Amino acid sequence: MSQHVHEHIDSVGTYVGILVLLLIATVATTLVSFIDLGNFSVVAALAIAVCKMLLVALFFMHVRHSTKLTKLVIVGGLMWLAILLLLTLTDFATRGWTGPGR
């Protein structure tokens, strides 16, 4: 039952590369926020944040090499966060809707 864990030891170069990408993304998100993108600016900010999250998770947290179960746990956790946000929004986004004829 215990699948043996193969230790993947990433090179220093990989980690440095990821760090550089993360720093660039930080500068990018800051600069992008000074450009008027309308409603899209939230999307841009979140998209960059999600990319950064993926870099940290996949490389620094070794999710790349993790078991399927770990990946399932992570995806599940994010799904539950989505449930919390989206179902709460079903209320707040439809406040005041009274339906057809009003």
- Max Cα-Cα span within the chain: 65
Provide the terminal-to-terminal Cα distance of the chain, rounded to the nearest Å.
Answer: 62
CB of 38 to another protein, least distance (A): 10
21 token code pair:
């990408």
Q: Count residues contacting another protein (CB under 8 A)?
A: 66
* Residues 6+ positions from 3 with CB-CB distance below 8 Å: 67
Binding site for another protein (CB under 8 A): 1-5, 7, 9-10, 12, 15-16, 18-19, 22-23, 26-27, 29-30, 33-37, 41, 45-46, 48-49, 52-53, 56-57, 59-61, 66-67, 69-70, 73-74, 76-78, 80-81, 83-85, 87-102
